[in-house]
Structure 1
Amino acid sequence: MLPPRAYTFIGLNGVRILSIIALTLVFASNVVTLVQDIEAVNRFVAADKSGTNFTVTSSDGTNSTIYMSDMDYIMGSTVPNQPAGVFWAVLNRLLIIGQSILLIMSEFGWPSSFFDHYFPVLGKDFGLGALGVMQCLIGAAILSHHVDTFTLVAAFFLFSIGCLNILIGLIWRGSARAKRSLTSWREHAKSALPTHVAGVDVRPVASAATAAASSVVSSMFTRTQSDASSSKAGFGFGKQGEKAAGLNGYFISKPIETLPRYVAKSTPTGSTDATTV
């Protein structure tokens, strides 16, 4: 039976795969919609130059003429029939395509340094809530127009995945990306492996050699530092020694002033030694 962390890892990566699929479908559908809009605009311009109009027959049998310039949208497209409507419609599709590419790259985690510096909300230190909000915004922007079935399904799929990512972000917050990361899983697996069994080192030869070398180097530096500290440990019997002892709570008492045991007796002043022969 797998540990709970394994189920979390599998579930989060499953949502990641679905997110990549949804973003890819939105990217492809918007490219198709962009091509269809441009073709519809070209037909509209050609019909406007030729003065082509449409005749519609109502239910009561009367005929009415519809002028193409009076339509709210260009026929067969998502482009509004208004000043600069073509520009904004094309720009909208290009922005959606660019955002889809950016979010796909963030789901793959490449390049991580780029996202950490320029888009921190899509980097490894943030959760999946911001990603879900962006996906919902893209889906809502597409669903707010009359689109074909393929684009409609892709947008619904992306919007649902965005809601799921928002929920995951609320549950795991900033640790969601770390829990689904392949590199963190490998590092955790390495640390979980035993290094000694019954007192025997079972690590690989390379890692054991590296550990031995690092221990030798650390012992050398430790010995050097201890030698340096021991060389400065003695302060002698002068002022430095007295000061160091005083800081540690010790007091050095001065010796009692006494004369040497075998000192010559002093003669009284004014006395003379008489020597008789």
Structure 2
Amino acid sequence: MPKLSGYTFIGLNIVRGLSIVTLILLFSSSIVTMVSDIKAVNVFMKAGGSNSTTSGIDCSEFDCDYIEGSTVPNQAAGAFWAVLNRLLIIFQSIVLIMSEVGWPASFFDRFFPILGKDFGLGALGVIQCLLGAAVLSHHVDKFSLVSAFFLFSIGCVNIFLGLVFREKAKRLRSLAARDDDKDVLPIADKTRTLYLGHTYTGSSEKESTTLSAARSGSTASSRAGMGFGRQGEKAAAAKGFFVQPPEESVPPYAPKPKSHFRASSPVTSSSPTAV
């Protein structure tokens, strides 16, 4: 049965997969919206520019906030800012996808540290919520609406995970970090066992088990050892490990030792006349 760290690893990677999917959907919907906006602007210009719309409404008499069938505002340089907004959303989506994939890690650690491996998921979630809100604040088609709402929801989840796991979130979901832990842990256990002096491995003795096996109750990690006696100390000294005995100390409340020069029985002198 997987441990709690295994469930955490699986859950964080599921959220990461959903995050990548929502960013791809936002990327695709932004391109579709930008193309439809450009087509609507072209039709609007052919129909009379800023004076009328394709439905025959005169914008000089009625307030036309947006060009019909688009998200482009009917104002000075409205088409330019609308297209620039979509291009920025597309660029940010690409950057966030690369951050979620973890490539290139050195680039993010140096130039965008809040998206690097040393930071949690909170900053990523905030950026996703901002992108989702920027799209949802306009009248868009259903594809863009669903993509932006999904992205905003995943952003809230990432913010929550960032508050829970903090800077450890990306390390807990990383495959490379998980493989490194598997390689390092046996070496650390061996060093700890040799340092404490509970078990010293040998080639001829098969009597004692390691400290880690005794704690976990598992026989799979057991190994032969020399025990606690002189043979164990000799084997440890041959490998460069020495056990230093603790210094003797007397607690402050202990009574002072008595003098050793006091005679336990009276001493009598012999004389030549004694019988």
Task: Give the aligned residue type for 2:6.
Answer: A
What is the aligned counterpart of 2:105 among 94, 106, 112? 112
Against the structure 1 CA distance between its residues 197 and 139, is the aligned structure 2 distance closer, same or farther, given a 3 Å change threshold?
A: same
Task: Give the aligned residue type for 2:57.
Answer: I
What is the aligned counterpart of 1:156 among 144, 149, 157? 149
Question: What per-residue deviation string (whole Å, max 9, x for no partner) do you get for residues 64-106 of structure 1?
Answer: x621465211000000000011111001000000000000000
Against the structure 1 CA distance between its residues 160 and 186, is the aligned structure 2 distance closer, same or farther, given a 3 Å change threshold?
A: same
Against the structure 1 CA distance between its residues 96 and 51, is the aligned structure 2 distance closer, same or farther, given a 3 Å change threshold?
A: closer
- Indicate the residue corresponding to 2:29 in structure 1: 29
Find the residue that maps to 1:125 and give its secondary structure: coil
Q: Does 1:143 align with 2:124?
A: no
The 5 A counterparts of 1:72-151 are 72-151=65-144
CA distance in 2, matches of 1:158, 1:181: 22
Give TM-score, length-normalised by structure 1. Answer: 0.65
- Indicate the residue corresponding to 1:235 in structure 2: none
What is the aligned counterpart of 2:57 among 66, 87, 111? 66
Against the structure 1 CA distance between its residues 53 and 185, is the aligned structure 2 distance closer, same or farther, given a 3 Å change threshold?
A: closer
CA distance in 2, matches of 1:162, 1:21: 13
- Indicate the residue corresponding to 2:176 in structure 1: 183
> Is the Cα–Cα contact under 8 Å of residues 48 and 68 in structure 1 kept in the other structure?
no
> Is the Cα–Cα contact under 8 Å of residues 127 and 155 in structure 2 kept in the other structure?
yes
Give TM-score, length-normalised by structure 2. Answer: 0.66
> Is the Cα–Cα contact under 8 Å of residues 40 and 70 in structure 2 kept in the other structure?
yes
> Is the Cα–Cα contact under 8 Å of residues 131 and 166 in structure 1 kept in the other structure?
yes
Find the residue that maps to 1:66 and give its secondary structure: coil
Task: Give the aligned residue type for 1:42.
Answer: N
Against the structure 1 CA distance between its residues 154 and 197, is the aligned structure 2 distance closer, same or farther, given a 3 Å change threshold?
A: same
- Indicate the residue corresponding to 1:8 in structure 2: 8
- Indicate the residue corresponding to 1:18 in structure 2: 18
Against the structure 1 CA distance between its residues 49 and 116, is the aligned structure 2 distance closer, same or farther, given a 3 Å change threshold?
A: closer
Q: In the TM superposition, what is the alpha-carbon distance from 1:198 to its structure 2 partner?
A: 2.5
CA distance in 2, matches of 1:123, 1:183: 15
Q: Does 1:167 align with 2:160?
A: yes
Question: What per-residue deviation string (whole Å, max 9, x for no partner) do you get for residues 185-218 of structure 1?
Answer: 1112223458775339xxxxxxxxxxxxxxxxxx
CA distance in 2, matches of 1:149, 1:97: 18
Structure 1's unaligned 5+ residue stretches are: 56-64, 201-218, 220-277
Against the structure 1 CA distance between its residues 199 and 83, is the aligned structure 2 distance closer, same or farther, given a 3 Å change threshold?
A: same
What is the aligned counterpart of 1:199 among 224, 243, 251? 224
The Cα RMSD (Å) is 2.3
Q: Which has the higher contact order (CA 8 A, sep 6+)?
A: 1
- Indicate the residue corresponding to 1:44 in structure 2: 44
> Is the Cα–Cα contact under 8 Å of residues 73 and 81 in structure 1 kept in the other structure?
yes
Question: What per-residue deviation string (whole Å, max 9, x for no partner) do you get for residues 96-144 of structure 1?
Answer: 0000000000000100111011100000000000000000000000000
Could you say which structure has the higher strand fraction? 1
Question: What per-residue deviation string (whole Å, max 9, x for no partner) do you get for residues 26-53 of structure 1?
Answer: 0000000000000000000111169866
Identity %: 60
Task: Give the aligned residue type for 1:40.
Answer: A
Query: How many residues matched?
Result: 193
